[in-house]
Amino acid sequence: MMIIDSHVHIGELGSFDMKPAYVMASMEKYGVDYSLVSSGAAAEFGQQNEPMPDDWPYDQYSANRLTVEMARQYEGKIGVALWCRPHTEGLNDRFLQLLEEGGAYVKALKFHPYHSMMPITAPQIQPYLALARERGLPVVVHSAVDEWSQPQYVYEAAKAHPEVNFVMVHMGLCSDNGEAIELVGSLPNLYGDTTWVRPESALQLVRQYGAHKLLFGSDNPIDGVDTYAHPFYRTYFGAFKDWVKPDEYELIMHGNAERLFHL
């Protein structure tokens, strides 16, 4: 069966160095057919919210170019989620140029509220969301319990932009996922993913609101080539298959991503 990972990274970010070769090797090793990739090198602030070093070599354009080049190199296996920098740069001409150059490889816009120190509802993000609506691009948003990343903000943005599909990545990292599941279930254009989500929580979303609401994602290769060896991902690749109906499993592992990202 086809497997699409909707949440994969490349690029340096803090202690992580996520090389395209790691992505390709892990996909091969674990039988993942397609990855939607964003570049952590576009992070605006570091792991402790410190500014990026003065000699940091990447900006919004060059960090995302790495992903576009990867998609071109591995044609048919990689899609691009452009990692946006609303705090330090914003939607500028270079970003539009990136969209041009990325062409059909660009499948989504990605926001990381923690690394941008800004909620998805912030005014600086509105131009990007207008662009997402114009171009029919889904918006992928990191969610967690810190002050910028709360699930509630993703819900508010999705509610304010009913024509844009939003994916609430992690469904509230470091929470019990309960609030996130309710929020994801309450809007037709809001989806959850499995990135570091306990399989029991993912199952709860499917049982309560349907398998069309959940996408497989992992943060591969954040822990290296064997990121998928984590018990959560072992379960999604294995036992989870028997927890849901076959057609539900197909939706979660690839069908929903194909529909949302127009793959």
What residues line the site for Zn ion (CB under 5 A)?
219
Using the 8-state DSSP alphabet, how is residue 3 labeled? -
| Nearer of residues 219 and 248 to Zn ion, judged by Cβ | 219
Shortest distance (Å) from residue 9 CB to Zn ion: 6
| Nearer of residues 227 and 249 to Zn ion, judged by Cβ | 227
Shortest distance (Å) from residue 15 CB to Zn ion: 15
Query: Helices 93-102 and 60-73 sit at what angle, rounded to 10 degrees?
Result: 0
| Nearer of residues 214 and 244 to Zn ion, judged by Cβ | 214
| Nearer of residues 5 and 219 to Zn ion, judged by Cβ | 219
Q: Are 45 and 115 in contact (CB under 8 A)?
A: yes
Cis peptide before 86 (omega within 30 of 0): no
C-alpha to C-alpha distances, 145 to 27, 113, 171, 201, 211, nearest whole angstrom? 30, 11, 10, 16, 25
| Nearer of residues 65 and 142 to Zn ion, judged by Cβ | 142
Shortest distance (Å) from residue 246 CB to Zn ion: 29
Q: How far apart are alpha carbons 6 and 253 in whole angstroms?
A: 9
| Nearer of residues 111 and 249 to Zn ion, judged by Cβ | 111
Residue nearest to Zn ion (CB): 219
Shortest distance (Å) from residue 7 CB to Zn ion: 6
Shortest distance (Å) from residue 142 CB to Zn ion: 6
Shortest distance (Å) from residue 192 CB to Zn ion: 14
Contacts of 240 (CB under 8 A, 6+ apart): 199, 202, 203, 249, 252
DSSP 24-73: HHHHHHHT--EEEEEEGGG-SB-TTSPBPPTT----HHHHHHHHHHHHHH
